[in-house]
Amino acid sequence: MGTSIVVTSGKGGTGKSSFTVGVASCLAAMGKEVLCIDMDFGLRNLDLSLGVADAALMDVTDVLQGRCPLERAVVRQPRLEHLSLLPAPATRPPAPLDRDAMKTLMKQVRQSYDFCFLDCPAGIGSGFTLAVSGADQAVVVANPDPITIRAAQAAVYQLRDEKIPARLAVNRITRRILRRLDTNIDDAMDTLGLPLIGIIPEDPYVTLAASQGSPLILSRSRGAARAYYNIAKRLLGQRVPPMRIR
């Protein structure tokens, strides 16, 4: 039985989609069967960052509304045979989708995949609520600044209401930022009341890999690629020492 993980943040642009592709591709490279579901309806981007935009013909709403079976809607990443994507629709559906249909879909997903990542849109609107209804666990992606940390609190409250255990990933860390900001990672954990799943350094290769449609792990083993790999190992229950930020 697989595990589904909702990736959320509150504020937009903190690195949810990068985290999803980064960690999912590491797990797939380790031989786990992994599905990413793009829940950012109308603003999809995982098809591009996974390099499968041309093959993303059906989407998650086609499956939720019974127009297409799951197996036909998923697209495989060409260079990582264990990694698949269930794309988001290119346009926003006119009405919110049924949470029960999402729960039913996730039951099927857990049977076929070891891990499923639900990449949320920014904010805590209907896309977030739908994604959360299919999740066993959550990762809240924040940046090391008080603004994104406060915005993440709204998502954390909702996850608590839904009784979904959550962990924190702090993204885009540099030594300089850690030195200059009053907030540090301990403060972020305290404010949000979440245990840490990992820290991810600022790394220009994250943006480069996404724009080339090629998961970072295929070209890099240091920086953010290493951080995603460490987090993937922690999701598998392995103990990995904290990463040093250079």
* Residues that bind Mg ion in the complex, under the rule CB under 5 A: 16-17
CA distance 38 to 87: 5
Residue with Cβ nearer ligand ATP (110 or 215):
215
- Is 18 a binding residue for ligand ATP by CB under 6 A? The answer is yes
- Is 8 a binding residue for ligand ATP by CB under 6 A? The answer is no
Q: Choose among Mg ion, ligand ATP, none what residue 125 binds, the Cβ cut-off being 5 to 8 Å by kind.
A: none
Residue 128 structure tokens: 């977030």
Rounded to the nearest 5 degrees, what angle is found at the Cα of 104, between the Cα atoms of 231 and 108?
60
Residue with Cβ nearer Mg ion (5 or 110):
5
Contacts (CB under 6 A) with ligand ATP, residues 193-212? 200, 202-203, 206-207, 210
Among 38, 40, 62, 114, binds ligand ATP (CB under 6 A): 40
- Is 122 a binding residue for ligand ATP by CB under 6 A? The answer is yes
E strand map for the chain: 3-8, 34-38, 75-76, 83-86, 115-119, 137-142, 166-173, 196-201
- Is 145 a binding residue for ligand ATP by CB under 6 A? The answer is no
Q: How far is CA 145 from CA 151, 170, 185, 188, 244, in A?
A: 10, 10, 9, 8, 19
Q: Which residues pair with 170 in a beta bridge?
A: 142, 199
Q: Which residues pair with 198 in a beta bridge?
A: 169
Query: Edge-to-edge strands of the sheet including 34-38?
Result: 75-76, 83-86, 34-38, 115-119, 3-8, 137-142, 166-173, 196-201
Minimum distance from residue 79 beta carbon to ligand ATP (Å): 19
CA distance 134 to 99: 8
Minimum distance from residue 223 beta carbon to ligand ATP (Å): 8
Minimum distance from residue 177 beta carbon to ligand ATP (Å): 12
- Is 143 a binding residue for ligand ATP by CB under 6 A? The answer is no
Minimum distance from residue 49 beta carbon to ligand ATP (Å): 8
- Is 171 a binding residue for ligand ATP by CB under 6 A? The answer is yes
User: Which residues form the interface with ligand ATP (CB under 6 A)?
Assistant: 9, 12-18, 40, 121-122, 171-172, 200, 202-203, 206-207, 210, 224
